[in-house]
Structures are given as C-alpha cells and as structure tokens.
Structure 1
C-alpha cells in the first residue's frame, strides 16, 4: 500500500501528508532531485514563512490584549495582575525568540502593528466585557515599547 502511494507523488501529498514529508526528506538526503514533488515542496517551504508571520501576529495581538487589560480593567486589576503580567512576559519572550531566529520578520511585525493593535483592542473588549471605547483607538505605546520587557502600562 505504501509503495502504491509513493508511486504517485501528488496523490501521496493529498492522501498521507506525513508520509509525503518523510519521502521528500529521504529523497533530499539522497540528492534524488528528479523525483521530488517540486510544486508541493515549494508551497510547503513558502508556508513556513507564512506560519511564522501568523504566529508572530497572534502573539502580538495577545500581548496587546493583555497590556490593555492590565492598564484599563481596574475592577479586576488587583486579583489578576500577576497572571496578566506573566502572560505579557510569556508573549514577549516568544516573540523575541522567533525574531532571534528570523530577524527579517521584524519589519513585517512593524507593518502589521496597527492592525494587531486593533485586533488586540477588540479581543480585550470582548474578554473584559468593557466597551471598545474604554481602550484607546491609537496604540498605548510605540511598537518598540510594546516589545520592551521592562515596560508595563
């Protein structure tokens, strides 16, 4: 059965992704370039960059959400401050690690900062049940300060 799947590389990609990856790695190790499924391999490599971008965007939104909640959700501040601060530290460290591995992604993160801020603002409003107007439309701090491990609002 596996041999049948391997014969048709397009079908293998569609029917057993894990096996396709293992076979592709095996072919690359052997330098068997002629039998590679080039179209899907190129798509997968491009998708690696898209995944890191999406992960960074998600982390930045969550970071902004928690910074806003820490700053503006006064009725819950004393009870939840430690949790929110721990989450803020966690998100910053994850962002820092990804940017350390791929510094070329930092300009992308700067480019989507405003959009991530608005999304984080919306999520903070939904989570806290505070009105969206509670949170400023303009970012509460510049991009670099949002990432600064020593800054809290």
Structure 2
C-alpha cells in the first residue's frame, strides 16, 4: 500500500506516488481511502465551479436588469465571458446539467450579494427566488444580447 502518511505531510508527492501506482497498475501501492476522498472532492469542485460562474453571471444579469443606467462594456463582457465559460464547463462535464436547477439557486444567492455590493440598490429590489431559468441565463440573446456587437458601450 502507498504511504498514507505522505498524504498529510506532502500532498504533491502523494499525488505523484498515486499516479505512478495507477500507471503501473500497482493496485497494492494505492492509498484507496484517500484516493476515494480526492476523487469525490474533484466532483464537488466541478459543481462549485459551476455555481461560482453562475453567481457572477446572475449578479451581472441582475445589475443589467435592475440598474439599466449603469450598463457598461465591462458588465456586457462579464456576462458574455461567464456564459461561454459555463457552456465550456458543461461540455467537459455534461452530467452537471442534472444539477442545473440546484446550481442556479445556489448561484442566485451569491449573485444577489454581488449585485448588492456593486450597486446602491436595496435588497428589497431583487426577487427572493431566481427569476431566470438555467436555459435563459445561458442564452446569448436573453436580457443582455451578447450575440451582437456592443462597441457603443463605454
């Protein structure tokens, strides 16, 4: 069995040891307990990335919708960037689509906080539940049309 103590003392060395054991199919040298935890953690990290990107996207969509006088190129580009990044992420991990509704709700909470931090709007202005569907937030023509050219934004 691999050196489980290495997991706690030198994580990088542990990962290299585990990769080598996997490459050599040296099953007895694998630290099965910690490997299982790390693989599970990788899956959770993929979900967290989706929620994080949705948080930024929703926050900017809320700003775009509820503070139209503040619309600017930076908001537009952030919305565009996050939509593309989420679509790429879902292409790499399509099974995350099954968690779309949950991720949208988790991202909405943080999105409201982002909009509150970056505007002078009071909390009561924003809806209590996400007013958008998952499909809408990813649609390049929804609310902020990122399919077109917005060179006129400052």
TM-score per shorter chain, which class?
Answer: 0.7 to 0.9
Size of the alignment, in residue pairs?
Answer: 144
Stretches of 4+ moved more than 3 A in 1? none
Aligned to 1:65: 59
Give deviations 1:103-128, integer Å, cap 9, x for gaps: 11012122232232132112211221
1:11 is displaced (CA, Å) by 1.4
RMSD: 1.7
Find the partner of 1:21 among 5, 11, 15.
15
Find the partner of 2:83 among 81, 92, 107.
92
1:45 is displaced (CA, Å) by 0.8
* Unaligned ranges ≥5, structure 2: 145-154
Give distance in 2, aligned partners of 1:98 and 1:115: 17
Find the partner of 2:123 among 123, 128, 132.
132
Find the partner of 1:55 among 37, 49, 55.
49
Instruction: Label 1:102 to 1:38 Cα distance change in 2 as closer, same or farther (>3 A).
Output: same
Give distance in 2, aligned partners of 1:56 and 1:131: 27
Aligned to 1:3: none
- When normalised by structure 2's length, the TM-score is 0.85
Give distance in 1, aligned partners of 2:117 and 2:66: 13
Give deviations 1:43-82, integer Å, cap 9, x for gaps: 11111110000010010011000001112224422xxx21
- Identify which range, 115-124 or 35-44, moves more after superposition: 115-124
Give deviations 1:119-153, integer Å, cap 9, x for gaps: 21122112213111122224332221111122225
Of structures 1 and 2, the one scoring higher in RCO (CA 8 A, sep 6+) is: 2
Aligned to 2:149: none
* Unaligned ranges ≥5, structure 1: 1-6
